[in-house]
Every structure is written in C-alpha cells, then in structure tokens.
Amino acid sequence: MTNIEAVIFDWAGTVVDFGSLAPTSIFVQAFKAQYHFDLSLDEARQPMGLGKWDHIRALGNLPSVDQRWQQQFGHSMTDQEVDALYEAFMPLQKAKVADHAGLIPGASEIIQHLTQQGIKIGSCSGYPREVMDILIAAAAELGYQPDHVVATDDYPQGGRPHATMALANALALGVTSVGRCVKVDDAVPGIAEGLTAGMWTVALTDTGNEMGLTEEAYQQTPEAELAKRRQTITEKFQAAGAHYCVKSIADLPPVLAKINKRIDRGERP
C-alpha cells in the first residue's frame, strides 16, 4: 500500500530533454532573429520554469540584459517587445521541441514502477498548449503517456509559481488530499508551485536546467566538478524550500519511501 496518490512531474529536464535544452536554445535564437540581440545561454536559463511569456519578460528585467538592451535600443524592454519576442519564439519552439523529447535515463522504469503501485502520474510545464501537444505526441511514441497534462496557458494564473497547474492535476486525477501528492521539478518556480499547492516537493539537481549539461557533456564531466556544482544547486533548492533533492528521476524511489513513512506518521508537507 502507498500513501502517495499522485506524482506530478515537470517535463523538460525532469522526464524528457536531459539538460532542459529545448527552451533555452530557442530563447537565444528568438532574440537574435527578432531583434539581432545577443542573449547568452546562461541568461536564458535564469528564469526557467516560468511560462514562456513571463520568462521573456523576466529576461528583459535581468540587469545584464536590461543594460545591453538600453544600449542597443535606448530604452528598457517594453511589453510590446516581449509580445514580439514571444511570437518569434513560438514557431521556433514548435519546430524543435520534438527533437528534445527523448526520455531521461531511468524515467521509463520509474514511471512504470509508480503506475504498478497504483500511483497516478500527473504533469505540467512552462510550455503553452500548442507546444505541449507536439511534445506529448512525440513522448508518447517513446512510451511516456502521463495520466494528465496541464500546460501553462490552460488556466488563468496557470503559470508558475502559482499553484494552478499542480492543483488542476490533483483535481483531474481525483486525489483525496494534496498532502498525498509529490511535485517533482528541476527549476525553482516549479518547486514553488508544488509548495504553494501544499504538496511534497522533490528537486532534481543534475538532469535539468540548473546543471544545464547535455547527457554527453554530463557523462564527460569529472565527478569532482559535478559534485561541486551539485552542492551549489542543492543549496539553491533548499533555500527555495524543497523537501528533498536528488540527482535525477531515477533516484526517486528512496525519497518516495521516506515521504510515505512521513505521511504514515501524520505529517503534512
């Protein structure tokens, strides 16, 4: 018997797209295509987890970006310019998202393990619905079909760190309590989403946006360097309130066992 009724996963960097590469590279391309503006990958990653319009707005507010934007255009980024960047971003993202639908190692086995235990699989993303529909189809061909999917624009106030997407999953999956749900994510806004929804939260340090490495680069990086970066990432997630931090989705079972025991003792997130 399990006390956990549902696990709600993020997509890129959590279950698919090792390193969360699809959205970051497209932001860089969109800025270059629309405004001939050079955005770095490190800058593109900083607001990851937000809805994509909000992500672009947050990029414009970064001090380094704002300074260069003012130098190039004579003013800070306007909402109209955010709209234009979003319009440039969308077709690029739709064209490329399926290329990054590959499952992160261990994901398929963990999903199967949870399903066999009767745990429902929810999911949500910072991607809008028109991008998610492409990613859902591509992931299904590779064997990943969660019980429910919520996109960032499915509901008003749906974007992270609001709890809307996590709570919409809980309602659709028919759970008896949000305290029996676990939110798994690779970005701080996604952890905030789970906490705001009253769920247990597990942050992934190695496979997503914070580490930001392709699977090949990750495998080639010395463990000492990974450990150093992992410690910094863990401290960031702990400061954000994550209940647990693990390297990847493959490392979930021991943490879920701990959460089960805590629920048994009457603890709540």
Query: Is the bond into 161 cis (omega within 30 degrees of 0)?
Result: yes
Instruction: Supply the pTM of this predicted model.
Output: 0.90
Catalytic residue (choose from 10, 54, 153, 185): 10
pLDDT at 61 over 80: yes
Name the band, by pLDDT with cuts 50, 70 and 90, for residue 25.
confident
Domain spanning 6-21+101-264: which superfamily?
HAD superfamily/HAD-like (3.40.50.1000)
Separation of alpha carbons 185 and 87, rounded Å? 26
Mean pLDDT, the chain, as a whole number? 95
52 is catalytic: yes
* Residue ranges per structural domain of the chain: 6-21+101-264, 22-98
3-class DSSP state of 109: helix
Residue 23 is predicted with a pLDDT of: 84
pLDDT at 236 over 80: yes
Closest by CA position to 189, among listed 171, 168, 166: 166
Name the band, by pLDDT with cuts 50, 70 and 90, for residue 74.
very high
Q: Which burial class, exposed, middle or buried, applies to 85 when counting CB atoms under 10 A from its CB (0-12, 13-18, 19+)?
A: buried
Selected from 1.10.150.240, 3.40.50.300, 2.60.40.10, 1.10.340.30, the CATH number assigned to the domain covering 22-98 reads 1.10.150.240
pLDDT at 22 over 90: no
Residue 1 is predicted with a pLDDT of: 58
Catalytic residue (choose from 52, 185, 186, 206): 52
Angle at 167 between CA 163 and CA 234, to 5 degrees: 55
Give residue-wise pLDDT tens across range 132-146.
999 999 999 999 999
Closest by CA position to 203, among listed 51, 24, 10: 10
Name the band, by pLDDT with cuts 50, 70 and 90, for residue 167.
very high
pLDDT at 12 over 90: yes
Give the total residue count for the chain. Answer: 269
Angle at 195 between CA 193 and CA 196, to 5 degrees: 65
Residue 267 is predicted with a pLDDT of: 95
